[in-house]
């Protein structure tokens, strides 16, 4: 059984909070093995002076949908003020000095899913920056990377041109780090001291890099409203790219990201093309099922769409990014008049396409539009992955 950082903090390290004014940045995943939430455990603890809650995208209680602004509020369970770190503009993503002026320490406890598009990691980075300026310590209660810590896939973000809230640092699409390791690496990237006065990571106990989440003995709590299962998290490093297109990524269904579709897709035709390309390019660990979906909200709400469901047959061999890039290639080839890139603003950015922000550069869009093939892109990823693995070695907490 893995012990998460929160359990280790409450069981062994509470002396570091005694007499200090604290806040917690969290969402519903900040739980103990008995399902008690961090806020409940800390608010009722005599050694903690808990003064404020901070909520990331989707809010402290995880009720808001993607890219929906979350307002300020009072937490009904504790009466504490809740400061949103996902509002109506880019400035709202960062704690303001007024939020931190009466605090000694900010505790961060949110379950990440191991993909660079997931915004919680960048909320942590903004907290690290703001707390360094305000002289407050950040304590990160670490949690496992649910899709393993020894697998990486993808290119690195071109931060000079495509930095955004879904790619603020040069991470690969599937990065293989925990939140605690990201915190140390972010400090290195931003020049923030890694001494315990600025950052203290409470590591997990018993977690290995080759563990999947369902091998930890921990309960799964949805990290966001459209992340219901571990399987969803595994396909997400690829399927999130569909947010940069006019194809539904399955929001508004009970299997988001595992299913996808559009009214102009012929399911059997797309399935056959995906099987042909998967065989040609050596994609393993996944099977494709032709299906129909009818989203209840989001893209094509109330309309019947043809599409696919991805079924994991061997998660050890499955490559989520390569699989979805193959899907984009197939969609462009089969439906050149139907398929399109999203042009609406995305995560507070309006002057660059969403697919490029998600991709971290223009390489995927250029290849799909230019009729390229997966192997050339895959070879480039391998070089990026090796470079990243070497650069983060000093920051790893688990071997």
* 69, 214: one domain: yes
| Backbone angles phi and psi of 23, in degrees to 5 | -135, 160
* 203, 292: one domain: no
What is the count of structural domains for the chain? 2
Q: What is the pLDDT of residues 251-282, one digit of tens each?
A: 999 999 999 999 999 999 999 999 999 999 99
Query: Is the pTM value of this prediction over 0.85?
Result: yes
**CB-neighbour burial class of residue 148 (10 A; exposed 0-12, middle 13-18, buried 19+):** buried
* 195, 213: one domain: yes
Measured CA to CA, the distance from residue 16 to residue 24 in angstroms comes to: 15
Residue 174 bridge partners (DSSP): 115, 153
* 202, 80: one domain: yes
Q: Six-digit token pair at 253?
A: 């269904």
Rounded mean pLDDT of the chain? 96
Residue (of 351, 354, 326) closest to 340 by Cα position: 354
Measured CA to CA, the distance from residue 99 to residue 107 in angstroms comes to: 14
pLDDT (mean) for 83-110:
96
Task: Specify the pLDDT at position 399.
Answer: 84
Domain that holds residue 366: 230-386
335 confidence band (pLDDT: 50, 70, 90): very high
Q: Which CATH number covers residue 249? A: 3.90.1150.140
Q: What is the pLDDT of residues 177-212, one digit of tens each?
A: 999 999 999 999 999 988 889 999 999 999 999 999
């Amino acid at each position: 059984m893995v012990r998460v950082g929160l359990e280790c903090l409450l069981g062994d390290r509470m002396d570091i909070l005694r007499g200090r004014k604290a806040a917690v940045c969290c969402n519903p995943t900040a739980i103990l093995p008995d399902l008690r939430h961090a806020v409940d455990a800390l608010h009722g603890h005599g050694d903690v002076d808990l003064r404020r809650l901070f909520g990331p995208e989707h809010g402290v209680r995880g009720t808001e949908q993607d890219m929906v602004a979350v307002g300020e509020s009072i937490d009904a369970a504790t009466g504490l003020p809740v400061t949103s770190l996902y509002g109506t503009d880019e400035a709202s993503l960062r704690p303001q000095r007024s939020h931190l002026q009466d605090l000694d320490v900010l505790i961060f406890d949110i379950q990440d899913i191991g993909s660079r598009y997931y915004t919680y990691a960048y909320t942590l980075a903004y907290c690290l920056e703001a707390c360094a300026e305000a002289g407050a310590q950040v304590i990160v209660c670490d949690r496992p990377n649910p899709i393993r810590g020894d697998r990486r896939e993808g290119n690195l973000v071109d931060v000079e041109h495509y930095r955004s809230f879904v790619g603020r640092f040069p991470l690969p699409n599937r990065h293989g780090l925990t939140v605690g390791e990201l915190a140390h690496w972010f400090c290195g990237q931003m020049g923030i001291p890694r001494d315990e006065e600025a950052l203290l990571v409470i590591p997990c106990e018993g977690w290995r890099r080759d563990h999947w989440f369902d091998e930890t003995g921990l309960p799964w709590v949805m990290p966001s409203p459209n992340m219901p299962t571990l399987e969803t998290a595994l396909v997400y490093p690829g399927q999130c790219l569909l947010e940069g297109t006019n194809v539904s990524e399955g929001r508004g269904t009970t299997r988001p990201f595992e299913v996808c579709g559009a009214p102009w897709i012929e399911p059997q035709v797309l399935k056959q093309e995906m099987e042909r390309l998967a065989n040609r390019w050596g994609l393993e660990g996944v099977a494709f099922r032709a299906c129909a979906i009818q989203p209840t909200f989001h893209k094509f709400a109330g309309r019947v769409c043809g599409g696919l469901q991805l079924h994991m047959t061997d998660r050890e061999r499955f490559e989520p990014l390569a699989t979805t890039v193959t899907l984009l290639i197939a969609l462009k080839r089969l439906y050149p008049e139907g398929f399109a890139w999203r042009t609406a603003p995305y995560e507070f950015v309006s002057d660059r396409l969403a697919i490029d922000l998600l991709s971290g550069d223009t390489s995927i869009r250029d290849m799909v539009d230019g009729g390229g093939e997966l192997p050339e892109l895959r070879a480039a990823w391998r070089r990026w992955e090796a470079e990243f693995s070497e650069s983060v070695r000093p920051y790893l907490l688990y071997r």
